[in-house]
């Protein structure tokens, strides 16, 4: 498994955890929205690694968007779910040629 796939899996799991109703919102707001900034950095790193390894980048791009507008309560929760699903699916996709 390439490092880009590992990062996609890790960021996918983290996004899924942030999308848990009530828990995710309390954690994000209680931490001063720092988890959104951390996830933004992780998604940028994952995007660069996935691009280098010619892997799917849609999950990382969606993750960057989610990190930017994820502070909106219900919208953020749904975006975290979608991003998590797309990232985990992208782990199992073949390389782009």
Task: With respect to residue 97, please indicate whether it lies within any of the assigned structural domains.
Answer: no
Q: What is the pTM of this model?
A: 0.93
Question: What pLDDT, on the 0 to 100 scale, is given for residue 29?
Answer: 93
Task: With respect to residue 86, please indicate whether it lies within any of the assigned structural domains.
Answer: yes
Total number of domains constituting the chain: 1
Domain extent at residue 10: 3-91
Q: Is the dihedral of CA 65, 29, 14, 75 positive or negative?
A: negative
Task: With respect to residue 96, please indicate whether it lies within any of the assigned structural domains.
Answer: no
Helical (H) or strand (E) element with 78: helix 73-91
Q: Which two tokens stand for residue 29?
A: 């707001």
What average pLDDT does the segment 59-76 reach?
94
What average pLDDT does the segment 63-67 reach?
97
What average pLDDT does the segment 66-85 reach?
94
Task: With respect to residue 85, please indicate whether it lies within any of the assigned structural domains.
Answer: yes
């Amino acid at each position: 498994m390439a490092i880009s796939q590992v990062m996609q899996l890790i960021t996918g799991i983290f996004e899924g955890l942030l999308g848990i109703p009530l828990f995710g919102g309390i954690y994000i707001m209680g931490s001063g929205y720092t988890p959104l900034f951390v996830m933004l950095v992780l998604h940028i790193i994952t995007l660069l690694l996935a691009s280098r390894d010619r892997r799917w980048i849609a999950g990382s791009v969606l993750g960057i968007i989610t990190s930017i507008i994820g502070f909106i309560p219900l919208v953020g929760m749904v975006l975290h779910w979608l991003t998590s699903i797309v990232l985990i699916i992208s782990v199992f996709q073949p390389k782009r040629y």
